[in-house]
């Protein structure tokens, strides 16, 4: 049984990298260092720690409950997405999108379990290295430092996930972690853990190399990007800019830009295909893999979020909102977004997706982000209402960035599982973060320059979704030389002189660039604008999604999720719980 468990886990973990020396490490089924007191053995534990980045199926829970894409926790409670499917499926998600949050929600519980399972795996690597170095079989100091840095990077990513989710998470460091003492990690959650997350990324960045031979391992640039993201997450306490944190993040981000290691892809869509995994724009991405032998290492966590029609056939989750569709509208004359009144008119029918105004112009990123009826969907076929499980419930639109292209579909097992990597940070995000900082502490004109770089890319006709004409069968189509819609993505040509307008433009650009990637709810959180934006969104969207009639974003309560009651109960030490619930719950 033990050997078969190791074989199964090896199949799950081989996705972490591509080089043979990375894949040949023997990962461990559990957090255990028994018999692994060697450099090779610890390298195997490290591969196991990398698996926690994908989170799928840890401890037997359903993978979508703690998926790194954050479509459940960062997507459907935002103004970008709704749960989709039908009313009865995954009711835990229905509560999340309506902000009816409680400490017994299984999805929230399993997100906690997945995050801290990853923390434990990273700590297991670090403590195993420490033990090995104290004995006669020590590895080289350089190897020990490298593996420790990678483990601290993983620990930082997992704790950052925790801090985004919970107002006062607990930090578990290797200084208290003891594999053989279940009580060692029962420590109080006394407040935010930003400083400790920063320390992990700083330590990782000081050791990690500028490039890695194995795809999936972090570089110093990845560590610095996550450190900057951690600082940016503290950049707007109470909605006001923290110049110190923002300027510290700026220095790191400029190092990344000036490193020469990264460049924008010519086409926006190339960030969302299997064929373009690990491209030049990617700063760090979570590796996914499927083969004829295994599909478990693929992106199982987002498997439910596929259209209802063949070839997927399941399960209709993760649909787009009317608010998001309208936000892609542009001014026909200038091609600039309608920052203040994009919801004045619906450009497609919220009930069936039919085009209302064929002359309406759009940001060209819309049809790489969202599936719309009548438009080619990820080169599979022309999307129609048969993509949707219950159109009367959640509307006619479907997210698509995470879906693999036809050539990468159905390699093994459940066809919805693919090797489409998740790009956690890419260069376009770095530019957007720099633009945010420039608006608050620097040059509005520099912010305009960064935004225009992304809009210039979006203008590229080579990246437009083409017009498609339906063939004899559902799967048949031909394309023409025309674009699928009136794409008009203009540049900001006038100088930016008003900070408030510039801020609004940058934040809107972030939405256009990253819609459907699980960031939106947390972006609104760090900017301190959740209450304003989500209240306005619910009041608009519930006209068409009547199940949102009782949705109510409660501030400050719903800024964060409640700590799972199970975690509090399991933290009992000497008759008292060491974890305390968020006082807003």
Write the pLDDT tens digit of every residue in 81-122: 999 999 999 999 999 999 999 999 999 999 999 999 999 999
The DSSP line for 301-344 is GGTTSS-SSTTT----EEEEPHHHHHHTEE-TTT--B-TTTTTS
Res 35: pLDDT = 55
Res 581: pLDDT = 99
Q: Extract the tokens encoding 239.
A: 């909605």
- Give me the percent of the chain exceeding a pLDDT of 90: 85
DSSP 465: P
Confidence grade of residue 416 (pLDDT, cut at 50, 70, 90): confident
Say which CATH class 262-517 falls into: mainly alpha
Closest CA to 162 of 119, 121, 195: 119
H helix or E strand, kind and range, residue 565: helix 565-570
Q: Give the pLDDT mean for 345-354.
A: 95
How confident is the model over 458-487, as pLDDT tens digits?
A: 999 999 999 999 999 999 999 999 999 999
How confident is the model over 530-563, as pLDDT tens digits?
A: 999 999 999 999 999 999 999 999 999 999 999 9
- Does residue 216 contact residue 201 with C-beta atoms inside 8 Å? no
Distance, in Å, from the CA atom of 478 to the CA atom of 373, rounded to the nearest integer, reads 16
> For the chain, what is the mean pLDDT?
92
pLDDT higher than threshold 80 for residue 33: no
pLDDT higher than threshold 50 for residue 11: no
pLDDT higher than threshold 50 for residue 282: yes
Angle at 111 between CA 105 and CA 112, to 5 degrees: 95
- DSSP alpha helices (H): ranges in 364-443? 366-369, 391-394, 427-441
Confidence grade of residue 22 (pLDDT, cut at 50, 70, 90): very low
**What residue has token string 């159109």?**
391
pLDDT higher than threshold 90 for residue 414: no
Q: Give the pLDDT mean for 438-465.
A: 98
**What residue has token string 């407040």?**
191
Res 377: pLDDT = 98
Confidence grade of residue 413 (pLDDT, cut at 50, 70, 90): low
How confident is the model over 46-72, as pLDDT tens digits?
A: 999 998 998 655 555 667 778 899 999
Q: Give the pLDDT mean for 232-248.
A: 97
Q: Extract the tokens encoding 395.
A: 């509307």
Q: What is the pTM of this model?
A: 0.93
Q: Which residues pair with 67 in a beta bridge?
A: none
Confidence grade of residue 577 (pLDDT, cut at 50, 70, 90): very high
The total of other beta-carbon atoms located within 10 Å of residue 99's CB is 19
In the chain, what are the domain boundaries? 262-517
How confident is the model over 491-533, as pLDDT tens digits?
A: 999 999 999 999 999 999 999 999 999 999 999 999 999 999 9
């Amino acid at each position: 049984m033990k050997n078969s468990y190791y074989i199964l886990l090896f199949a799950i973990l081989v996705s972490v990298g591509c080089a043979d020396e990375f894949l040949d490490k023997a990962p461990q089924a559990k957090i255990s260092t028994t018999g692994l007191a060697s450099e090779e053995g610890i390298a195997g534990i490290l591969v196991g720690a990398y698996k926690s980045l994908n989170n799928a199926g840890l401890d037997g829970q359903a993978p979508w409950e703690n998926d790194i894409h954050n479509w459940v926790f960062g997507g459907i409670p935002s103004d970008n997405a709704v749960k989709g499917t039908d009313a009865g499926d995954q009711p835990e998600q229905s509560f999340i999108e309506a902000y009816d949050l409680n400490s017994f929600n299984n999805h929230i519980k399993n997100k906690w379990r997945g995050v801290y399972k990853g923390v434990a795996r990273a700590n297991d690597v670090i403590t195993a290295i420490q033990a090995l170095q104290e004995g006669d079989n020590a590895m080289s100091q350089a190897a020990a430092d490298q593996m420790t840095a990678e483990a601290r990077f993983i620990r930082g990513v997992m704790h950052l996930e925790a801090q985004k989710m919970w107002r006062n998470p607990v930090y578990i460091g290797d200084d208290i972690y003891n594999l053989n003492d279940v009580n060692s990690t029962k420590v109080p959650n006394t407040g935010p853990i930003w400083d400790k997350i920063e320390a992990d990324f700083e330590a990782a960045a000081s050791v990690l190399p500028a490039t890695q031979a194995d795809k999936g391992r972090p570089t110093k640039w990845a560590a610095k990007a996550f450190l900057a993201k951690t600082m940016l997450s503290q950049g707007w306490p109470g909605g006001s800019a923290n110049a110190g944190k923002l300027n510290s993040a700026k220095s790191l981000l400029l190092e990344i830009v000036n490193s020469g290691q990264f460049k924008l892809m010519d086409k926006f869509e190339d960030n969302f295909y299997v064929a373009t995994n690990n491209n030049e724009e990617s700063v760090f991405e979570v590796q996914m893999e499927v083969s004829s032998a295994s599909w478990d290492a693929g992106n199982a966590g987002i498997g439910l979020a596929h259209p209802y029609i063949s070839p997927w056939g399941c399960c209709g989750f993760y649909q787009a909102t009317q608010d998001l569709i309208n936000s892609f509208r542009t001014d026909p004359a200038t091609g600039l977004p309608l920052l203040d009144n994009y919801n004045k008119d619906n450009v497609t029918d919220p009930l069936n997706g039919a085009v209302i105004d064929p002359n309406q112009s759009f940001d060209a990123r819309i049809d790489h982000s969202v599936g719309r009826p009548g438009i080619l969907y990820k080169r599979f076929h022309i999307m129609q209402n048969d993509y949707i499980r219950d159109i009367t419930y959640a509307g006619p639109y479907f997210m698509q960035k995470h879906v693999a292209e036809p050539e990468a579909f159905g390699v093994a097992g459940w066809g919805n599982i693919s090797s489409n990597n998740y790009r956690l940070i890419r260069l376009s995000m770095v530019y957007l973060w720099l633009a945010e900082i420039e608006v608050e502490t620097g040059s509005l004109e520099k912010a305009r320059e960064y935004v225009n770089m992304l809009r210039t890319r979006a203008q590229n006709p080579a990246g437009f979704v083409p017009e498609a004409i339906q063939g004899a069968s559902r799967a048949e189509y031909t394309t023409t030389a025309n674009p699928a819609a009136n794409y008009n993505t203009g540049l900001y040509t006038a100088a930016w002189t008003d900070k408030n307008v510039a801020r609004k433009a940058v934040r809107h650009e972030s939405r256009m660039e990253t819609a459907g990637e699980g960031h939106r709810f947390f972006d609104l959180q760090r900017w301190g604008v959740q209450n304003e934006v989500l209240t306005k969104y619910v009041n608009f969207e519930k006209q068409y999604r009547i199940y949102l009639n009782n949705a109510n974003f409660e501030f400050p309560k719903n800024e964060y999720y409640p700590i799972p009651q199970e975690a509090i109960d399991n933290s009992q030490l000497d008759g008292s719980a060491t974890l305390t619930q968020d006082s807003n719950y």
